[in-house]
Amino acid sequence: MIVNSKPERIQKILSVYGVASRREAERMIPEGRIKINDIPAVLGQTAIVGVDDITIDGKPLPSLNKLYYIMLNKPRGYVTSMNDDLGRKVVTELVTDICDKTKLYPVGRLDINSEGLLILTNDGQFANTVMHPRYGLTKTYEVHVRGDINSAINKLKRPIEIDSQNNRSFSKNEVFTVKAVSVDLLKHSSNNAVIEIVISEGRNKQVRKMCKFCGLDVLYLKRVAIGSVKLGNLPLGKWRHLSEAEIGALSNNYRKVQ
């Protein structure tokens, strides 16, 4: 067990040690499943690993796992989750050779009908860096659409209002104003087109909702880059380790805003 003299929030500790993502930890704590020195923890409480006795469902905090950073080319038909109540296929089924060694968490989401670059890791701080809108990390999408593309392109470049419908994180429907970092027309023939949309907010189904607002039907959506890290020619359904340079590029984005 590594002793850290600096107190950390219990959610962060659980994430760093591969017990649960921060969001999952925030559900576990009110259920009384996490205890610090034999007392049920509360949200936001801090502890010191190696000094305080931290247990999860009565079991001690596990040793710090080796850190993994995985790039997956997610196919359509897979849910970006650890498990699914409806019995649908989940992305962790595609990385079982790593998940047999440690629990990996998807970083952000791609909806079931979308393909492309998805990062999985057991490094909680790294995951927060990539996922949190605060850090402004861009996500690049290749989108095949049908509709009046000339009119839609101009609309896509302006601020757009989208709602939070179908997002379990919100108890009621809310409206957000989003704006693409850039929009480029890659191909255009008749009523179909391929466009590249770069965003930084990462709201639920944001690109699909932006296109719908502008009168476009999305036929195919693929995430091709996160920040400077590109999917490249990684085959569909396959994964690879991120290189040290790629991990560094994403981590450096975190340090720039500190």
Strands (E), 61-114: 69-74, 105-107
187 and 215, same domain (yes or no): yes
183 and 243, same domain (yes or no): no
CATH value at residue 118: 3.30.70.580
200 and 156, same domain (yes or no): yes
Residue 2 lies in a domain: no
56 and 20, same domain (yes or no): yes
Determine which one of 100, 111, 123, 163 is catalytic: 111
157 and 34, same domain (yes or no): no
Handedness of CA 46, 50, 52, 54 (dihedral sign): positive
Residue 203 lies in a domain: yes
Q: Which two tokens stand for residue 220?
A: 């195919």
pTM of the model: 0.76
Residue 153 lies in a domain: yes
pLDDT (tens digit, 9 = 90+) per residue, 81-127?
888 888 899 999 999 877 666 778 898 889 999 999 999 998 877 88
170 has pLDDT over 80: no
Nearest one of 110, 142, 143, 137 to 229, comparing CA atoms? 137
18 and 125, same domain (yes or no): no
Q: Which residues contact 31 (CB under 8 A, 6 or more apart)?
A: none
pLDDT (tens digit, 9 = 90+) per residue, 195-240?
999 999 888 899 999 999 999 999 999 999 999 999 999 999 999 9
Total number of domains in the chain: 3
Active-site annotation holds for 184 = no
143 and 206, same domain (yes or no): yes
Expressed as residue numbers, the domain containing 33 is 8-60
